[in-house]
Amino acid sequence: MEESMGSNLLEDFISSDLMLRIIQYLNVADNGRLACTSQRYYYLAHQYRRFRGPEIAITTDLIALAELEKTTPTEQTLYNTDQISSTMMKDCKQKLQVKPNLILGFSTPSDLAGAIKRELSFPASPSTSNIISLNVVAHQRIQVSQPAAGQGLQYQQPKLDSKSKASLMAMNFPGATILPYVIRGRPNHDDLVFLEQRLRYHSKINNNGNANESSFWKAMILYAVGNGVESSDQITNRMQTLMPNAVIVGGACREGFVSMPTYKKEELSSMSIKHLKHVLKYCCPNATHQDILDPAVAAKMDIVEKSDLVDYVYAAHEKEEEVTRNMHSSMSKISGAGIIGVFLGGNVPIKSVVSRGVHSVLNNNGPPLPHSNLIVQEESLTTFGHNQPPIHLIHKIRDDDTGIVYSSIQLMDKYGPSAESTIDFLGLKRRGQDGFQLKSLNELTQAMGAFAILTDGSETELESMEGAELDFFCLNGKACMEDMDRTMLQLRQQTEGEEILGALMYTCNGRGPEPGCLIPEEMSDAKRFANAFPRVPCLGFYAAGEYGPVALAGNENIFQTGRASLQGFTAVFALFVVPVKNLPATYDLDDSIHNVQQFVRHQLHQKMQ
């Protein structure tokens, strides 16, 4: 980088405002090249990134293949997976203005999944080592992409695809904290405590010393593999308690890859001896497999001082990073059983939406209404078996319109025959809540002569049901399509004046992509999203179970947080929503020699830490 600020006459004549207008048309590679030409341009490039805010770009192997075919003389050429993944990354770089700090990959089971994993790890470039990558492998994916630029763009329809083998979403969230995690096998108590300690530590150091993890962490993306699914509710419950307002989304998949967690010495020093050994055992597999370090030795070592163990673990971790760089893979893989994902903290503009689709029996088998005239009048709590959470038993329900009080059996006898099909859910809406929670009707209802509502034992679920509104709901394909239409309409209304940069979609494999017995349309959910938001890129996959906020019926606020769980037959969206931002007419920047050099010194100091 040039030390003399007056050596370039052209540079001296270009004002900072004009230069920033030029920079806004440069992609990330050209932006970086410009920043390397002088300290002033380095300063201005960084200032533009601050004004620019978050950005998202997607690419797919279909785009890569089309690009490769342009440069080859024959259509018979076969492209290897490394060529395709490299071209995908090149396409992403051309679409972004700032280096991403998170890349999400979606692959089908194929050789390309491994190539995408290698490409995501950026092994050859230490300057990109802070990019976190998460790649899910699933049989069927979702892609909604924007039409290619050109004449008549406003009349073109977005492209829907579930057949391509791989796609990527590259994102930049300035000032965000992105923390990858890996749990091998079924999660246990120690795994959860370790995760909680990491979240508390990083919320404190990245939030000016304030360890308020409940507000710092904005989201958790969770992919469960194999029998990791069976115990995943332990994680969602514990993490949601720690981060009550955070968005938790994801799905059950075939396998996945995530960037290996990294640890600075300061964080290791804050850990207990038990957690240090946890890091050694689970986070340094390649180093230990190559007999560079043996974690079993540390577990048995008679270490008097904790600082000795910190040094040992830190050395093992550094060696692990060196080994994985040489192996061109700094990604952890889960294929048999386990849970992987990332936590997103700080300035991450994420919101979640859930759609299931039910008809209200009380509304003549029409769409759910926000309120019901049936009110729970009498209920009790009971328990069955040792250490089992209590169960609500709803004995009497009052019709507020007529004043008639019904037992649960009488109410079923009254409304059951008028339902369009078997009643699937009992809907309950406590005072002050938005929307009906859907509870499956179970065999205990008939045996106990009361509606039996299972709980997880949490304080919220044990609150009295008396005064809650009640409705009955039926699940069917028509209701699902209607609910998605309503959801998209509400989403457009409730994001007026805002911009959706991109979306993640995790939908049940019973909802597509092919037409089925319930939903007779191909990619029904993705099609409705694309029709409502034709300029918003969306990636995802069809899951064997979806993680997201509890699906509601009749809710008026489209966005939901908290109460995340594993559900079925839902469509879960994570949306990156920002205010519509117009760049200022003048930036009024101080690009004096003194200020620029001071900024450069500060940046260099940060990189050396």
pTM over 0.75: yes
Let me know if residue 308 belongs to a domain.
no
Q: What is the mean pLDDT of residues 275-303?
A: 65
Q: So what's the pLDDT on residue 149?
A: 47
Question: Are residue 462 and residue 374 in the same domain, yes or no?
Answer: yes
Tell which of 441, 475, 509 closes a domain: 475
d(CA 314, CA 386) in angstroms, rounded, equals: 45
Q: What does the block give as tokens for 359?
A: 């008809």
Say whether both 35 and 135 belong to one domain.
no
| Inter-residue contact 528 to 484 (CB < 8 Å) | yes
Burial 152-169, CB ≥16 within 10 A → b, else e? eeeeeebebbbebbbbbb
Query: For the segment 312-326, what is each residue's pLDDT rounded down to a tens digit?
Result: 888 888 887 777 665
Domain end position, chosen among 459, 475, 491 = 475
Q: Are residues 365 and 442 part of one domain?
A: yes
Rounded-to-5 percentages of helix, strand, coil across the chain: 35, 25, 35
* Residues 103-118: tens digit of each pLDDT: 999 988 877 777 776 6
Least reliable range by pLDDT among 78-82, 454-458, 473-477, 506-510: 78-82
Which domain does 108 fall in, by range? Answer: 54-172
Q: What is the pLDDT of residues 150-191, one digit of tens each?
A: 434 444 567 888 878 888 999 999 889 999 999 988 888 899
Q: How do 55-60 and 564-567 pair as beta strands? A: unpaired
- Domain match, 15 and 118 both: no
Q: Put residue 162 in one of left, alpha, beta given phi > 0 → left and psi -120 to 50 → alpha.
A: alpha
Task: Kindly state whether residues 369 and 386 are assigned to the same domain.
Answer: yes
CATH code of 59's domain:
3.30.1330
Q: Does residue 379 sit in the same domain as residue 432?
A: yes
pLDDT digits (tens, 9 = 90+) for 322-365: 776 655 556 777 777 899 999 999 989 999 999 999 999 999 99
Q: Rounded to an integer, what distance in angstroms lies between the CA atom of residue 173 and that of residue 55?
A: 7
DSSP state of 257: E
State what percent of residues in the chain have pLDDT above 70: 86
Question: Residues 46, 84: one domain?
Answer: no
60 & 164 share domain: yes
